[in-house]
Amino acid sequence: MPIFDKIFTRIGAADDLASGQSTFMVEMLETKDALNKATPHSLILLDEIGRGTSTYDGMALAQAIIEYIYKSIGAKTLFSTHYHELTSLAETIPNLRNVHVSAAEENGTVVFLHQVIEGAADRSYGVYVAELAGLPKHVTTRAEQLLQTLETSHGNRGLPTTQINGDRGAAEEVAATITDEPQQLSLFEPEVQKQQGQELNKKEKELLTKIMETDLLHLTPFQALEKIDQWQKQLKRK
């Protein structure tokens, strides 16, 4: 390894509740710091960039960040991701190499070998890790059933969530295997009241508009609690 002038890391995920910043905002701020200050002699370590937002947004940002580092910075970079589509960038970016940590599976038991080998991973072990974490057996068994349904429809063990979200047919197929239960309705959907035979009055409609327009990402926890208290008092005065 050469001598680096700076080392930038974006590892881990946590909301900054004190300043009212979401996980994704913290992630983007730290990534911005690396992209603005890194030089060709820096080391950049990025872990799961884009996981804090929607799948399409996250994957688009992750690819754009990789391309920017390659074209505009040139720093040595380690970039871990579960967006399998990004592995195809090795075909267009000369200096990009795909590697993964190997694992062995035998009789339903997975052994993580902690060995980095060439090439992209052919599958993930999320359900097995969930079992190791102690999730209820009913949950992991059901997850494995749903995973097999998705594998059958796509023929890809390591199917990225982007493909799941983007393929309505697969989503409907999975939904059809789930026991029919009442759908949970949106918390702020006026139609809920109408379905229950109740019309919103003028004050409730005005309050609903305020709630919908509130930018929660730019409120501290205390400010959010204050607003909830104000809304409750307004409803009680009706």
Indicate if 157 and 198 belong to the same structural domain: no
Indicate if 93 and 104 belong to the same structural domain: no
Q: Is residue 106 part of a domain?
A: yes
Q: Which helix (H) or strand (E) holds 8?
A: strand 7-10
- Which of 36, 30, 77 lies closest to 50 in space, CA to CA? 30
State the residue range of the domain holding 170.
99-181
User: How many Cα neighbours within 13 Å face the side chain of 129?
Assistant: 5
Q: pLDDT tens, 63-109?
A: 999 999 999 999 999 999 988 889 999 999 999 999 999 888 877 78
- Portion of the chain with pLDDT greater than 70, in percent: 75
Indicate if 7 and 81 belong to the same structural domain: yes
Indicate if 195 and 212 belong to the same structural domain: yes
Q: Is residue 82 part of a domain?
A: yes
* Domain stop point among 97, 116, 148: 97
Q: Is residue 216 part of a domain?
A: yes
Per the structure block, which two tokens stand in for 146? 């749903």
Indicate if 164 and 226 belong to the same structural domain: no
Confidence of residue 151 (pLDDT cuts 50, 70, 90): confident
Q: Is residue 186 part of a domain?
A: no
Indicate if 197 and 169 belong to the same structural domain: no
Indicate if 35 and 63 belong to the same structural domain: yes
Q: Is residue 221 part of a domain?
A: yes
Place of tokens 């004190």: 18
Q: Is residue 39 part of a domain?
A: yes
Indicate if 93 and 150 belong to the same structural domain: no
Q: What is the mean pLDDT of the chain?
A: 78
Indicate if 141 and 151 belong to the same structural domain: yes
- Portion of the chain with pLDDT greater than 90, in percent: 30
Indicate if 107 and 170 belong to the same structural domain: yes
Q: pLDDT tens, 164-193?
A: 344 444 444 444 544 444 445 444 444 444
Top mean-pLDDT range of 16-30, 62-76, 201-215: 62-76
Helical segments of the chain, H only: 23-37, 55-68, 126-133, 137-154, 161-166, 168-176, 191-195, 202-213, 221-236
Structural domains of the chain, count: 3
Top mean-pLDDT range of 50-59, 112-121, 162-171: 112-121
Q: Which helix (H) or strand (E) holds 76?
A: strand 76-80
Indicate if 4 and 87 belong to the same structural domain: yes
8 Å CB contact between 190 and 115: no
Indicate if 110 and 19 belong to the same structural domain: no
Q: Is residue 70 part of a domain?
A: yes
Which amino acid belongs to residue 15?
D
pLDDT above 90: residue 150? no
8 Å CB contact between 143 and 130: yes
User: CATH number of the domain that 21 lies in?
Assistant: 3.40.50.300
Q: Is residue 121 part of a domain?
A: yes
